[in-house]
Amino acid sequence: MTYVIGPTCIDVMDRSCTEECPVDCIYEGERKLYINPAECIDCGACQPVCPEEAISLDRLVTGDGRAHLADNARFFSEPLPGRDAPLGAPGGAMEIGPIGVDTELVAGH
């Protein structure tokens, strides 16, 4: 299990969740935030602070959020536009800063 950020985060990115995450596993694309499933410790600290209610447990995702469930994993496992290699699990979002690109699903939203 892990948490996932859904479509209501697109073009909003409040970032309250990043301040609460104890393991710094929430990465910033150009238009949306993404939770790294390999780094998330499933603590749930991010979920209650999101004013957009965009964060949920992966097993509870419904409707439009289902497409973002797989897409969230793709952000880390496949090369993003303009990048040669997947992001993987770099060990912390603050260390590498904003990524500046999104997956095709979010970019085309």
Can you say whether residue 55 is alpha, beta or left, with left for phi > 0 and alpha for psi between -120 and 50 degrees? Answer: beta
Residue 88 to residue 69: CA distance in whole angstroms: 16
Residue 11 to residue 98: CA distance in whole angstroms: 14
Domains of the chain: 3-107 (3.30.70.20)
pLDDT value of position 25: 97
67 CB-side CA count, 13 A: 10
- The string of pLDDT tens digits covering residues 5-58 is 999 999 999 999 999 999 999 999 999 999 999 999 999 999 999 999 999 998
